[in-house]
Amino acid sequence: MKRFFNRQWGIGNEQWTIGNRQWATDNRQTFFANCKLHIANYNLLIACCLLLITNYSNAQTSITLQQAIDTALVNNLTVKNEKLRTEYHQKLIKSGATIPATNIGGQYGQINSFYPDLNLGISQTLSFPTVYSRQKDLLTEEWKSSVLNLKIKETELKKLVTEAYFNLLYIKQKRRLLLENDSLYSEFLSKSILRFNKGESNILEKTTAENQQGQIALQLSQLEQDWETLQLQFQFLLNTSTVFVPDESEIFFQNISSLENTEFNSHPLVQYWKQQQNITVANTKIEKSKLLPDVTLGYNVMGMKGMGANDVEYNSNLRFHSVQIGLSIPIFNSSQKSKINAAKINEQVAANEYEVNLRNLEINFAQAMKRYQKYQDAVLYFENTALKNAETLKTTANKQFLNGEINYLEWVLLMNQAISIQSDYIEAVRNRNNTVAEINYYLNK
């Protein structure tokens, strides 16, 4: 009887084992179904990215860097506003000879005798001619300053447009690299699932493949958002309803490593700071001219009734003429002298600011040159060595993986190394281009 029960227990155990196998088989089928669903989701995401790229290409107009700069100089709102400000200062120059209002007056009453008399007069007060001349000089210097400020805005706009232009190119190149590698990882993800299904690999390989493709999909999504942000900035700088995109055939390279003893005297910033000194000098001259006397000129005509001093009787007709001249001398001028002394100090402040800003410009230029050399060395290294090594890594890794000489994790490690090299190259090119844009800004190009 005991033996019979043991046999019965053994049969039940076999049925339980068969049930577990069936459960494992069902789970495996469910697992592969989920894998296929993940692949379908990734493919859908990539398809959406490709659709967005296609829509961008169809809806946008290609433009070169020079065309973009020319468009911005004509349409940019900041530049337009600065041009209006320049016109405003130009119109103000004629206000330098502002003359006070003319005084017209009259008297009626017993001026000379019992009989009523009439007296009419007109007078005008004028500053010394030197004052008007120096006021006009000050307004002219301020107008020159506004012209230079317009040039500064245009130079800064060129730099901003150039940076935005090549940042957009950077995103397009980075996106192309990601799409190329996404197709590669998609292919190997499919193969890894087949290998897993045949029992030739484990879950780690398949999961790694999914993670790699998922990271690429995430980076593509982030690049699209960066593209939209930069595109809005680029369109704002150009101030046009047409959506422009950089021409990918544009080559931006300039050998500037040989620049030495660069002079910045022609740069709008330097000229602007120098012009601020001229403004302070002109302002001091105006304050000094206010110590000069004002001149008053007048003319009067009067009618008198009665016997005059020459024993002639006159009626009330206007017949007696007189002129008036006077000087307004600033006797109490200590306040004005204090203004003159303050204006002289302001001249020294402007001179010091010129030296500080010029020195700061020279240092910034030197730093930009150092950065350019760093990025240029990196670009040359990638172009002469690293990019070739990256292609070798890709080719060899693919060949060895297909031949079974390396496993999938080793293949991923080698592929990521190659992709990192290509991505770093694109980043180095962008940094070099942006640095060249900054250097051209300092060189007023």
Task: Give yes or no for a contact between 170 and 429, defined as CB atoms under 8 angstroms apart.
Answer: yes
Q: Are 323 and 122 in contact (CB under 8 A)?
A: no
The neighbour count for residue 47, using CB atoms within 10 Å, is: 10
Q: Residue-wise over 187-212: b if at least 16 C-beta within 10 A, else e?
A: ebbebbbebbeeeebeeebbebbbeb
Please name which of 440, 426, 424 lies closest in space to residue 167, comparing C-alpha atoms.
Answer: 426
Please report, in tens digits, the pLDDT of each residue of the chain (445 residues total). Answer: 334 334 344 434 444 343 444 433 344 344 334 444 444 444 444 444 444 444 444 457 889 999 999 999 999 999 999 999 999 999 999 988 888 888 998 888 777 777 788 888 899 998 889 999 999 999 999 999 999 999 999 999 999 999 999 999 999 999 999 888 887 777 777 766 776 676 666 677 667 777 877 888 888 899 999 999 999 999 999 999 889 998 877 655 555 655 555 778 889 999 999 999 999 999 999 999 999 999 999 998 888 777 766 777 778 788 788 888 988 888 888 999 999 999 999 999 999 999 999 999 999 999 999 999 999 999 999 999 999 999 999 999 888 977 888 877 788 889 889 999 999 999 999 999 999 999 999 988 8
The dihedrals phi and psi of 201, each to the nearest 5 degrees, come to -145, 175
Phi, psi of 372 (to 5 degrees): -60, -45
According to the model, what pLDDT value does residue 388 have?
A: 94
Q: Is residue 146 within 8 Å of residue 326, measured between CB atoms? A: no
Closest by Cα among 261, 268, 246, 236 to 441: 268
Query: Tokens 């901003």, residue?
Result: 160
The CATH number corresponding to 60-442 among 3.30.450.40, 3.30.360.10, 2.20.140.10, 1.20.1600.10 equals: 1.20.1600.10
Alpha carbon distance 297, 115 (integer Å): 29
Cα 206 from Cα 203, distance rounded (Å): 5
> Dihedrals φ, ψ of 295, to 5°?
-110, 135
Phi, psi of 100 (to 5 degrees): -60, 165
> Rounded to 5 degrees, what angle do the CA atoms 383, 386, 389 make?
120
Phi-psi region at 199: left, alpha or beta (left = phi > 0; alpha = psi -120 to 50): left
Nearby residues of 315 by Cβ (< 8 Å), 6 or more positions away:
303, 305
